[in-house]
Structure 1
Amino acid sequence: MKLKQGLMWVILVLAVLVSSCATKITAYEATTPEIKLEEFFDGELFAYGIVQNRFGKVQKRFTVDMVANWEGNVGLLEEDFYYADGTTDRRVWRLVKEGNGVYSGTASDVSSDAIGATQGFAFQWGYTLDVPIDGKTWSFKLNDWMYLVDKKRLVNRAEMKKFGFVVGEITLVIEKL
């Protein structure tokens, strides 16, 4: 029993240490070019990327056709995914600019409202994504970061967690057409 309690304390301390090392959005406050979702995600876009498992092995490769438009503080982002294995998927985001660089979003396969903020060239938000796998739906917590490279290119990295453990990562490059 003492060994089990000791192990739990070690795990708790390691978790606190690891989480305290995480990058905060404020680290990018003075960087340029400044990202504004309503400007970058406007019009036609194209993306390509990969999904890796927790060991770094590529599980999926994909491309995405995107169309986005904004009316005032509300944006609609339509994403059509094309996977290398021939499967397809579609996600439609409803984005809301809340003010002061804060954005929220909803989509049919996102079971928690996405909420995030911009600082300089970076945008970070978190949400729960529901993913169908082998006839079941699994919910993953995503820590999603976007980095504006220039006015036409953005790099997106999302860490996927299940039960608090990293189980995968999504990397994609998005380009304005």
Structure 2
Amino acid sequence: MKILALFSFVLLLTACGSASLKEHTNTTPELKLEQFFDGELKAYGMVLDRSGNLLRRFEVKLLASWQGDEGEIKEWFVFDDGEKSTRVWQLKNLGNNQYQGTAGDVVGIANGKTEGSALYWKYDLEIPVDGTIYEITLDDWMFLIDEKRLFNKTNMSKWGFNVGEVILYIEKI
């Protein structure tokens, strides 16, 4: 019975703290992935642990293009410890402000939706740590600042527990 009460309490706390995409319905400028993610972009970011302590910094070079409702974003990461990695997103505009995306380290399909100047994605990502691959759930929020700048805040969790956060600033070159 105590386990059930604890589970109910944790569920209540997480439900109360959830952000809502609807809160951004009339915000401007309006985020359209095909418009912002087009051409060359540059990003600067950091990875924080579950306590908010800085783990890593990184830079990303992005090259994005769209053909109709299908887009591709190539990302080249360089971390402050010298590690390099690449991710290639295949995106699809499903209409009605809904998007889907896949990439080599994304488990299944990333599903997202825009409202006003915000995008919310949720997906699972495989992250290598010391030779082991971990599957982490990402709650990914993007906020368009203006036509050239975007802020990205991602909460990372495993089995519903917070394990870290990624903060990223992206700008068009």
Corresponding residue SS for 2:14? helix
Q: Matches of 1:121 and 1:7 in 2, distance apart? A: 40
* 1:21 Cα deviation from its structure 2 partner: 3.2
Give the percent of matched residue pairs that are identical in Structure 1 and Structure 2.
43
What is the TM-score normalised by the length of structure 2? 0.97
Q: Which runs of 4+ in 1 moved over 2 A?
A: none
> Aligned partner of 2:115: which letter?
Q
Q: Matches of 2:166 and 2:18 in 1, distance apart? A: 18
Larger radius of gyration: 1
Q: Matches of 1:118 and 1:45 in 2, distance apart? A: 20
What does residue 58 of structure 1 align with?
54
What is the TM-score normalised by the length of structure 1? 0.95
* 1:163 Cα deviation from its structure 2 partner: 1.2
Q: Matches of 2:135 and 2:10 in 1, distance apart? A: 25
What does residue 101 of structure 2 align with?
105
Q: Matches of 2:132 and 2:108 in 1, distance apart? A: 18
Q: Does 1:70 align with 2:66?
A: yes
Q: Matches of 1:53 and 1:168 in 2, distance apart? A: 4
> Aligned partner of 1:31: which letter?
T
> Aligned partner of 2:20: which letter?
K
Q: Matches of 1:147 and 1:84 in 2, distance apart? A: 25
What is the aligned residue count? 173
Which ranges of structure 1 fall in alignment gaps of 5 or more residues?
Answer: none
* 1:23 Cα deviation from its structure 2 partner: 1.1
Root-mean-square deviation (CA, aligned residues, Å) is 0.9
* 1:8 Cα deviation from its structure 2 partner: 3.3
